Amino acid sequence: MIEVKNLFKRYGKNTVLNGIDFELNIGEIVGFIGPNGSGKSTTMKCMVGLVYPDKGEILVEGKPVNPKKHESLKKVSAMIEAPGLYHNLSGLENLKLFASLNKVENEKIEEIIGLINLGKGLEKKTKNYSMGMKQRLAFGITLLSSPDYLILDEPFNGLDPEGVFSFREEIVNLASSGCGILISSHQLMELEKLVTRKIFIKNGQLVDSLHDISNGNKVYKILLNKDEMSKNFDNIKNCFEKMKTDKLISRYYLNESDVVVFINNVEDLSKLMQNVLLQQLNIYGVLPVADEIEELYRLIYEEELV
């Protein structure tokens, strides 16, 4: 288990991490989600000793990660930000160089070569690689040490659809074999297909679940006509503002073809619907908001949530 305990980090006057706590267990795939600047990369760098927190600690199977003692990181491998490759070496030369640093046998190198599927591209210098080829090679390098924990920051960057499918399959296989994986990506739909658990970070703090986001309210999505929403946007917004003032709802979110509402009591949903119908709008459905990445992302980060 990797334990992230009460992590704080400041750069000047800017607080980047503000009390981060979570665990990464063997065999799970955890989605680490948030927009740029939310603290994802800093957290991941702290986890592998590239950045040291001002307060708090990282434990890998009970051993602390610190500037003077890195034994704990022998079981951890990471791919964070741009792949760190030697651009004047070929892909194969890069692979063999990193293998020598980890004292990896040729059998493992051959396994990785088959896995990353670069073919004759391994003979080319990596300065001539596409972004997708660099990602695949960097991913192979992270696996040379057969890590128990894998930390991946934006691993889908530059991958074509076939590369994404192959990567997704390999991640699932790694988790099934007992590797704990923390993965951050802006490609939310791909994360939804992969992860067994998700963690959201906003302004250096974690938001763990729909219940946390909603403050215990019930959350529903009202499906409306896109054209009607566009033509009547001001009236619709005024309608929901009034319901908020009347405490029929606590918050709402206006999208181009639906409205997400937070209500205290399910019984109030019928009153809400009556108010919407008075605006002479066609309602196509009412759905409870699911605990899905894309829906949660909208609720946590979208500016129009009021």
pLDDT band at 305 (very low <50, low <70, confident <90, very high): very low
Max mean pLDDT range (63-77, 211-225, 230-244): 230-244
Residue range 220-236: mean pLDDT, rounded: 81
Q: How many CA atoms within 13 Å lie on the side-chain side of 94?
A: 29
**Alpha-carbon span 139 to 135, nearest angstrom:** 6
Between these two residues, 1 and 229, which has the higher pLDDT value?
A: 1
**Alpha-carbon span 172 to 72, nearest angstrom:** 24
Dump pLDDT digits (tens) for 71-107. Answer: 767 889 998 876 678 889 999 999 888 888 878 888 8
Place of tokens 């090679």: 137
Query: Please, which residues have CB within 8 angstroms of residue 51's CB and are 6 or more apart in sequence?
Result: 9, 42, 45
Contact (CB, 8 A) for 110 and 70: no
Q: What is the pTM of this model?
A: 0.79
Dump pLDDT digits (tens) for 134-182. Answer: 888 999 999 988 899 999 998 888 888 888 888 888 899 999 999 999 9
